[in-house]
């Protein structure tokens, strides 16, 4: 009798699992019409053996953690519908076989006047990126705004990067935001307030404007920019170059201190391509923008009447945050996928590594009620995840996790249900996207006044994994559990022993196999034609379809 894979965690291994989608994104069209019974099915046969086969025991040599800032289930769905269609599959984000959900709440630092009793240290249901990042980076719940510190704002909590360095691993932290921003900073700094970018009293020019984010709210603590140098990860990449012009206590700029300390500081895609090593002698500090890096798609701000406007396609961004930078995306900046590729090349070594990768501006574009902006940033992250998954599959012993820090505001609503002049008109900004399905997707933003900064929400989030230790994301967990999952996978401490005896292997469905093999060549021909015509949306959709077909073909 086959071994049933029972362990002390078996009660939650398969509960809540979103089993592998082994049928291609195009499978609905290839095997049945969506209108037919079963035509929209993503599974083809029993998934039990396939899911069981994805539970990998033992240590992980490497861990790649992908964070989509503000990437809730709604943001993933908005992007999937637009890029590959409702029955499609995002080739990176949707490819991880083991999934669960986790809670993300922060803690109240002080008493909330809206609560009848003192709620200090009790759950604050809507978190920010600082509190959530501190949760997975250190295993510690804290208050909104805190970077790597406890509830007192001063007690530093060891981050995964700090721990991995002490364990002899190489480390990396890359983002499309400023490297001082909350998500990258939780791995590299310990400050009472996320806004403490520069030494006290410093005003610098960022994106052509005089700006000040000093340590006024972080007395006795070094700025985030300075601590990035002190922590000395092997690879740090993103934007935020302007903040390094601030003057440090020694009279030199933080940027000059980085050069003096041996950091290699590439500032363009071309310069990054020439980098061949990253270590403690010469760490890489890639700074590719004055502030945040440019987004892929041009802004499409939602409006009060967006729901009744013709649906639109997204177009390449030709407006950069920095007026002095090239204006058409990506300009001289590397994409997130390119930064991920280079980071993996630089970090790969016999002792292993930990790498955090953030797609930062899903959140920032959600705040701006910019549907195309958030779709493009989700697409960027999806492409980076594909890079990470390819590495994991070819190198082995690599745990890949894809998740988010907090949920956000965008929702898909039905414009057909809105009747002008009645109470059914949403008190929200809306925008109509023309999706890969050739139909309209109405995206609504209603957590702030129209034109204001849309707010985070407090819902639980998807967390997905592949490789050794990925089973620990299954079911319902908390964000702080991710710290233990990653640390445990890299250290090997507390892991379940591998079962003895045979393990059931998945049997591919014969009809699906035959159809998949026949479909693959056709899809690849379509992809070549789409590339020649520079049809970016069609290229993304076809890549998702091909990825699904290839996976099914492997089972055959």
Q: From the annotation, which residues make up the binding site for Zn(2+)? A: 69, 363, 367, 405-406, 456
- pLDDT for 10: 36
CATH code: domain 48-491 is 3.40.720.10
Reduce the secondary structure of 223-247 to three states and give it as a string: CHHHHHHHHCCCEEEEECHHHHHCE
> Pseudo-torsion of CA 293, 458, 186, 213, nearest 10°?
60
- Work out the number of other CB atoms within 10 angstroms of the CB of residue 428: 23
Q: From the annotation, which residues make up the binding site? A: 69, 181, 183, 358, 363, 367, 405-406, 456
- pLDDT for 15: 33
What tokens appear for 197 in the block? 């970018």
Query: In this structure, what DSSP letter does residue 445 have?
Result: E
- pLDDT for 503: 58
Active-site option among 129, 253, 477, 547? 129
Domain spans of the chain?
48-491, 511-554
- pLDDT for 247: 97
Annotation says 477 is catalytic = no
Low-confidence ranges of the chain (pLDDT < 70): 1-32, 501-518, 537, 548, 551-556
Phi, psi of 520, rounded to the nearest 5 degrees: -60, -50
pLDDT digits (tens, 9 = 90+) for 322-374: 999 999 999 999 999 999 999 999 999 999 999 999 999 999 999 999 999 99
- pLDDT for 509: 55
- pLDDT for 445: 96
Helix pair 536-555, 510-532: axis angle to 10 deg: 150
User: In sequence order, what are the residues at sequence separation of 6 or more whose Cβ sits closer than 8 angstroms to the Cβ of residue 155?
Assistant: 149
């Amino acid at each position: 009798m086959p071994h049933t894979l029972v362990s002390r965690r078996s009660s939650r291994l398969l509960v809540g699992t979103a089993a592998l989608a082994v049928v291609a994104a195009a499978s609905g069209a290839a095997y049945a019409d969506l209108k037919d019974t079963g035509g929209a099915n993503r599974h083809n046969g029993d998934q039990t053996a396939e899911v069981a086969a994805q539970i990998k025991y033992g240590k992980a040599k490497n861990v790649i953690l992908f964070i989509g800032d503000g990437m809730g289930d709604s943001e993933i769905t908005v992007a999937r519908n637009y890029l590959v269609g409702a029955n499609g599959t995002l080739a990176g984000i949707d490819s991880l076989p083991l999934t669960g959900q986790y809670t993300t709440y922060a803690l109240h630092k002080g008493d909330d006047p809206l609560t009848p009793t003192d709620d200090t240290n009790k759950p604050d249901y809507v978190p920010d990126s600082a509190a959530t990042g501190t949760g997975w980076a250190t295993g510690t719940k804290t208050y909104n705004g805190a970077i790597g510190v406890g509830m007192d704002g001063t007690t530093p909590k060891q981050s995964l990067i700090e721990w991995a360095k002490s364990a002899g691993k190489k480390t990396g932290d890359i983002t499309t935001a400023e490297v001082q921003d909350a998500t990258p900073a939780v791995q590299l700094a310990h400050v009472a307030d996320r806004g403490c970018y520069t030494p006290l009293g410093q005003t610098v020019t960022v994106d052509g404007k005089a700006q000040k984010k000093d340590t006024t709210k972080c007395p006795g603590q070094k700025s985030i920019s300075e601590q990035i140098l002190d922590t000395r990860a092997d690879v740090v990449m993103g934007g935020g170059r302007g903040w390094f012009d601030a003057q440090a206590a020694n009279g030199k700029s933080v940027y000059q201190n980085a050069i003096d300390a041996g950091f290699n500081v590439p500032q363009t895609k071309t310069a990054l391509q020439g980098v061949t090593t990253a270590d403690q002698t010469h760490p890489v500090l890639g700074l590719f923008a004055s502030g945040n890096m440019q987004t892929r798609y041009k802004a499409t701000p939602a409006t009060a009447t967006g729901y009744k406007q013709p649906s639109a396609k997204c177009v390449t961004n030709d407006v950069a945050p920095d007026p002095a930078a090239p204006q058409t995306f990506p300009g001289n900046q590397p994409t997130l996928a390119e930064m991920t590729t280079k980071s993996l090349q630089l970090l790969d070594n016999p002792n292993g590594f930990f790498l955090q990768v953030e797609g930062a501006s899903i959140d920032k574009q959600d705040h701006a009620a910019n549907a195309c902006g958030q779709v493009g940033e989700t697409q960027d992250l999806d492409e980076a995840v594909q890079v990470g998954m390819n590495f994991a599959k070819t190198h082995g012993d690599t745990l890949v996790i894809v998740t988010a820090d907090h949920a956000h505001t965008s929702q898909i609503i039905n414009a057909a249900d809105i009747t002008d002049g009645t109470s059914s008109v949403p008190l929200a900004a809306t925008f109509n996207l023309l999706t890969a399905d050739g139909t309209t997707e109405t995206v609504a933003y209603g957590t702030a006044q129209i034109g204001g900064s849309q707010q985070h929400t407090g819902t639980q989030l998807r967390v997905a994994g592949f490789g050794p230790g990925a089973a620990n994301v299954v079911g319902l967990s908390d964000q702080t559990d991710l710290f233990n999952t990653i640390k445990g996978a890299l250290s090997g401490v507390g892991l379940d022993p591998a079962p003895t005896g045979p393990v059931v292997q998945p049997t591919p469905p014969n009809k699906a196999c035959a159809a998949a093999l026949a479909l693959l060549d056709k899809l690849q021909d379509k992809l070549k034609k789409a590339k020649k015509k520079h049809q970016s949306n069609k290229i993304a959709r076809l890549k998702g379809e091909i990825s699904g077909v290839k996976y099914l073909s492997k089972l055959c």
